[in-house]
Amino acid sequence: MNQTNSVFLITLGIATMGFLIKKFDFVSEKDGKSISKFLMHTTFPALMIVSMLRIDFKPTLFLIPLLCISLGCIMTLIAWFLFANYSNQTRGVLTMACGGLNVGLFAFPIIEGIWGREGLVYVAMFDIGNTIITFGLVYSVGSYFAVREEGKVNYKKVLGKVIQLPPLQAMFIGLTINALEIELPVVAYDFLDVLAKANKPLVLLLMGIYMSFELEKSQVLAVAKVLAIRYACGIVGVILLYVFWPEPSLARNVLIVCVVLPIGMTILPFADELNYDSRIAGVLVNISLLISFLLMWGLVVGLKLA
Taking the C-alpha atoms of residue 279 and residue 276, their distance in angstroms, rounded to an integer, is 9
> What is the reported pLDDT for 258?
94
For range 93-112, the mean pLDDT: 83
The letter for the amino acid at 196 is A
Q: Which residues pair with 101 in a beta bridge?
A: 263
What is the pTM for the complete model shown? 0.77
Q: For residue 255, is pLDDT > 90?
A: yes
**Residue pLDDT, tens place only, 123-180:** 878 988 888 898 888 988 888 888 776 555 566 666 676 677 787 788 889 888 988 8
Q: What is the crossing angle of helices 186-209 and 3-23, to 10°?
A: 60
| Residue 148: alpha-carbon gap to chain centroid | 24
Sign of the CA dihedral running 28, 29, 32, 33: negative
- Phi then psi dihedrals of residue 54, to 5 deg: -85, -5
Each domain of the chain, given as residue ranges in start order, spans 3-302
Q: How many CB atoms lie within 10 A of CB 207?
A: 25
> What is the reported pLDDT for 157?
65
Q: Fold for domain 3-302?
A: Na+/H+ antiporter like fold (1.20.1530)
> What is the reported pLDDT for 144?
86
CA distances to 9, 94, 251 from 125, in Å = 26, 26, 11
Taking the C-alpha atoms of residue 34 and residue 26, their distance in angstroms, rounded to an integer, is 14
